Amino acid sequence: MLKLNGVKLSHYKNSKDAQTVDIPLPPTVTIPLLQHMGVGCEPVVAVGDTVKAGQLIGDSEAAFSVPVHSSVAGTVTAIGKYVASSGKIETQITIEVAPEQETIECAPVEVTDQASLVAAARAAGLAGLGGAGFPTHIKLAYKDIDKVDTLVINGAECEPYITSDYREMLESPDDIIAGIELVQKCLGIANAYIGIEDNKPDAIKLLTEKASGKAGIKVSSLPSLYPQGAEKVLIYNCTGRIIEEGEIPADKGVIVMNITTVASLCRYVKTGMPLTHKRITIDGNYVKKPMNVRVPIGTAISYVLDWAGIHEELARKVLMGGPMMGMAVYDLNTPVIKNNNAILLFDEQKAVFPRTTACIRCGRCIDACPMNLMPTALEHAYDQGDVERLKALKVNLCINCGCCTYVCPAKRHLAQKNTLAKGLLRKK
């Protein structure tokens, strides 16, 4: 097998021993109707309606969409617009939390084949919970499913600080294995690999024990080399298969699922309760007591931080997600959504942008790129607006991992330019 590039990062897994804690219910939740890749939902409730926890509040007839459920019982007080992280104007629903919490009536869901599995994944409101937010039911609905022989479960969690998936592995290993077996059975998939970075020996040991005697399930200990959790990198390191430009994993016989996603699918089938809460890591060099908390979806970041005793107004930067691929938060009233896995806070020293200088043609970005691209050439092509050159240099193969920016001694914004370049191609 070829050796893939990447970078060695300091792990900072400070919260790895912090067992998940449920935070108290906030006074209100504001739930966006777009929490995934694809099309946002339309409200199916109105202002003044009383809702229960787990109740459907947003849905869409679009194929590439995921329904949204209330995380609490309460009263709908507002339905309004907001600017999503994509820059699009989307809809959100605000619910005042009731003193007494009622949950929808639910029961185990019968799942026996591909069609019922796809329906269950959609009804559960699942989208890639590791951060990507790709609708789970779309992955599972691959039309030539008989050509898929391998399931890869992403337990790499390669970004620094984040341990939410690690705690899933330690706290819910039986749900993970049962979820894998469910997908294998319904889709006729013989082989399953659970890919975990070798900096998580406890998780590797526990899941190896749980998978013992299970047909076709293997735990793969992977080198701690960022971006090990990137889909194409993970597939290659687990199976040796290469996903070419324009292909999806299923084209090469593979379906990839995040480890928390597959466990959540299991829990939905067992109980009939859709996704309403999300485990997130709270950490960063500004945080004195790193922790993992389970949060009702729609809870404001400010409420989470206040509950945790963190004076967020003194932090210089707040991220949703990891330091390599996370997104800076401009408003602490921003709600936690399905594909959030961390809130990281940093002080002035870590938050300041370093001064950018001229490229010295050292080639470190090329050595680090896991997709074997040429980031400096891509930057130049974008600056020149050269669309044909961007296509020739395969900018769409960029996975936006940030390795190039991380290793650049001139501190050039290479990964950011690639994102802009992809947008330029979409406009042409």
What pLDDT, on a 0 to 100 scale, did the predictor assign at position 133? 86
Cα three-residue angle 293-401-16, rounded to 5 degrees: 30
Phi, psi of 54 (to 5 degrees): 95, -5
What pLDDT, on a 0 to 100 scale, did the predictor assign at position 351? 79
* Dihedral Cα 235, 240, 242, 243, nearest 10 deg: -30
What pLDDT, on a 0 to 100 scale, did the predictor assign at position 1? 47
What pLDDT, on a 0 to 100 scale, did the predictor assign at position 419? 93
Whether the link from the prior residue into 227 is cis, omega within 30° of 0, is yes
What pLDDT, on a 0 to 100 scale, did the predictor assign at position 85? 67
What are 268-284's pLDDT values in tens digits? 999 999 999 999 999 99
* Dihedral Cα 300, 306, 309, 313, nearest 10 deg: 90
Which amino acid, one-letter code, is at 211? A
What pLDDT, on a 0 to 100 scale, did the predictor assign at position 128? 87
Q: pLDDT truncated to tens, each residue of the chain (428 aa)?
A: 455 789 999 999 999 999 999 999 999 999 999 998 889 999 999 999 999 999 999 999 998 999 999 999 999 999 999 887 667 788 999 999 999 999 999 999 999 999 999 999 999 999 989 877 899 999 999 999 999 999 999 999 999 999 999 999 999 999 999 999 999 999 999 999 999 999 999 999 999 999 999 989 999 999 999 999 999 999 999 999 999 988 999 999 999 999 999 999 999 999 999 999 999 999 999 999 999 999 999 999 999 999 999 987 778 899 999 999 999 988 899 999 999 999 999 988 887 888 999 999 999 999 999 999 999 999 999 999 999 999 999 999 999 999 999 999 999 999 999 999 999 998 87
CB neighbour class for 212 (10 Å; exposed up to 12, middle 13-18, buried from 19): exposed
The Cα–Cα gap between 70 and 298 comes to: 9
CB 263 within 8 Å of CB 166? no
Cα three-residue angle 241-178-290, rounded to 5 degrees: 85
DSSP string, 73-135: -EEEEEEEEEE-TTS-EEEEEEEEEPSS--B---------SHHHHHHHHHHTT-B-TTTT--B
189 sits in which H/E element: none
What pLDDT, on a 0 to 100 scale, did the predictor assign at position 210? 97
CATH among 3.40.190.10, 3.40.50.300, 3.90.650.10, 3.40.50.11540 for 114-271: 3.40.50.11540
What pLDDT, on a 0 to 100 scale, did the predictor assign at position 86? 66
Domain ranges of the chain: 114-271, 364-427
What pLDDT, on a 0 to 100 scale, did the predictor assign at position 3? 58
